A and B are shown apart, each in its own frame.
Chain A
């Protein structure tokens, strides 16, 4: 089975900061990595798919990069509404999720 490891588990940042989250796969997943945002009590929201494709309606401050085993989600300028948990999903071979990064405001 493919394992997905996210880091850090918790991140505290200020409004306007550039924030980078990491997701690593235990084996090559090509470009088939998605990122989601989940706020408390809400359904997960797809942000990025195929590593770097921005989902329709998602602000352009969100971007994804990477291929193979190492992937990154970047928020170019953190906004208060970005406080949430972010998790990754590999969709190369079945589906496996990362453990999530909880993003808070400093």
Chain B
């Protein structure tokens, strides 16, 4: 069974940093691109960042470029999101998701339950 389990969320002050982790199991982690998606309170889901299967390519939405870093450790089957210079508008639940290409053509086909991040003083 495919499982994605996020950890590392919590309360953080504006301007500080936080690192989220996503432990993957039940599939060959290094065969898949991975992504982070967030949902702020009462807002739509938003794609945050994607990393290629081997970590060689990364992509970010404009609002987090230069502040967030997506990375992965394929030996540990773990995805990360380093969030620096956090702002109140970064308050959200952050989900990690598997990106499935081929016949699925880039669909996020498996998701974690999410990690809550609150940026507040």
Contact = CB atoms under 8 A, between A and B. Distances in A.
A53 B100 CA distance: 14
A104 to B, nearest CB: 18
Contact of B108 (A32, A42, A50, A89): A89
Given A32-B105, A32-B106, A43 B45 contact: no
A98 B44 contact: yes
Contacts of B106: 32, 91, 95
A9 to B, nearest CB: 11
Contacts, number: 55
Nearest to A93: B106
B4 A43 contact: yes
Given A87-B45, A97-B44, A46 B107 contact: yes
B113 interface: yes
Contacts of A43: 4, 95, 110-114
Contact of A34 (B107, B110, B112): B107
Nearest to B59: A94
Interface string A34-55: 1000000111111001100101
B27 interface: no
Interface string A62-93: 00000000000000000000000001010100
B71 to A, nearest CB: 19
B65 to A, nearest CB: 14
A55 B98 CA distance: 15
6 contacts: A43-B114, A49-B109, A94-B59, A95-B35, A97-B37, A97-B47
Given A43-B112, A46-B108, A94-B47, 15 more contacts: A32-B106, A41-B113, A42-B113, A43-B113, A43-B114, A44-B111, A46-B107, A49-B109, A50-B103, A50-B105, A53-B103, A89-B107, A91-B106, A97-B45, A98-B44
